[in-house]
Structure 1
Amino acid sequence: MSALAKSKSHHFYDEDDQDVLIQFDENSFVPVTPYQEDFEDQVNEAQEQLLQLRQKQEMLERQKLELEELQRRKEEFTHGRAEVTEQLSQSIAHLEREAARAQQLAEECLDSKESFEQHLRIVEMLRPEHWSRADLRDELTRALACIEDAEQDIAQAGHLLEVRKAAPKGVRVTEKKSTASAAASREQGFLHWFKCGLAFTLPLMIFVGVALLLLSIFGAGN
């Protein structure tokens, strides 16, 4: 069938009532339908968008975790700084007081040491054997006054002499251990030499005992 035969004729009338004949071919029209490629492109585009959204979500979650970690560390720093600041301030004040007391104690110890050295020199210079009978009363009075002055200074410095008793337990324990170790060492040394002496003299003692026994036997026989 020719193209002319496949064509259809349609009659239209214009305003002047004139018959207008229009012919067209049905095969010249292509139906408008979506292609398969368009669907695949849309699916791929949607998957790509989902992937981008998922990556963005993961990035946001990482940022959230980092911010939470930073916030936690910031709070830890703030709390730690406040606590350490308070501890350092209290420790500094305590050490300042202790340093002042230690300095005062050191000064008192030096003063007492100088005073004691002076008393010791005076006391050592007291020689009763050099006193004459005529000056004995005056010398004794002066000597007793020197002794009394020394005793007064010793009594006044008693709190300084008690410092050693107030030493930390660790120091006292160390001193006790050292004393015990020294005593044990001396005891072990005595036992060692006692055993050595016994080992040397025991054979001699046995020999002497046997000799005395023989002498007594033979002497009785005679």
Structure 2
Amino acid sequence: MNKKAGETAPLPGEGETGSRYTVDDLNIKVQQAHEVLLDLERRREEIERQKRQLEELRKKQRDFEVGHRAVTEELTRSIALLERHQEEWERELEDIRSVRKTLAGQLSALEALEPASWEPANLGEELTKALALIDQSRAALRQAQGRINRLGWDGAVREGGAPRGEEAAAEVEQESGFWQKVASGFAYSLPLILSLLALSLFWFWMFKK
């Protein structure tokens, strides 16, 4: 069919398909494509977020497993060590209590001595008992010395961490005080002893006549 004058030929690409889309249609298509891209971007971001969450959860799970195992093992070892030391210290404490009770008994017995109250007639017997008690206390100290040394203490029993020189001076002073009491008791009883001796000599002289 021949074209009439004045008619223009259709542009390339125009035909039935090209003629069915208008500018508005194209704008709608572009808008739809843009929305699809935005939706895909949101999905990608959501996937990335979930990926980060999963990675964080996996890291926390690994940290939990490693930390749980390590701390559990360390706690088990520590508790076993403490229980072992607790048993040793309880035995040591019981030993200390026993030694302390023994030494306290010896100290009480020594402090209970009152030389001034001894009867002159029984002075020798009282001195023998007192010396035996001192020897017994020294033996108890020697027996306890090994236990005391295990506690890290040097020398004999110290009260309040007193230096050895001060302790020795205190011991000498205590012994001096003891014998001073003995001498004092004897001095108090000396007039009575002399009187009895004089009376005995007088009766002996009278009966001899």
Deviation by residue 1:177-217 (Cα, 9 ceiling, x = unmatched)? xxxxxxxxxxxxxxxxxxxxxxxxxxxxxxxxxxxxxxxxx
User: Which residue matches 2:34?
Assistant: 47
Name the structure with the higher strand share. Answer: 1
Partner residue of 2:106 out of 119, 127, 133: 119
Equivalent AA in structure 1 for residue 131 of structure 2: L
CA shift at 1:160, angstroms? Answer: 4.3
Change (3 A) 1:134 1:80: same
User: Which residue matches 1:71?
Assistant: 58
User: Which residue matches 2:189?
Assistant: none
Which moves more between the two structures, 51-60 or 36-45? 36-45
Larger RCO: 1 or 2 (CA < 8 Å, sep 6+): 2
Q: Once the two structures are aligned, what percentage of the paired residues are identical?
A: 32
CA shift at 1:134, angstroms? Answer: 7.0
Alignment pair present for 1:35 and 2:24: no
Partner residue of 1:108 out of 88, 92, 95: 95
Equivalent AA in structure 2 for residue 34 of structure 1: R
Task: Determine the C-alpha separation between the residues in 2 that align with 1:89 and 1:67.
Answer: 32
Unaligned runs of 5+ in 1: 1-30, 167-174, 176-222
CA shift at 1:104, angstroms? Answer: 1.8
Partner residue of 2:45 out of 49, 52, 58: 58
Change (3 A) 1:125 1:35: closer
User: Which residue matches 2:81?
Assistant: 94
Task: Determine the C-alpha separation between the residues in 2 that align with 1:134 and 1:156.
Answer: 32
CA shift at 1:39, angstroms? Answer: 2.6
Partner residue of 1:146 out of 133, 141, 151: 133
Provide the aligned C-alpha RMSD in A.
2.8
Unaligned runs of 5+ in 2: 1-14, 155-160, 162-209
CA shift at 1:102, angstroms? Answer: 2.5
Task: Determine the C-alpha separation between the residues in 2 that align with 1:131 and 1:123.
Answer: 18
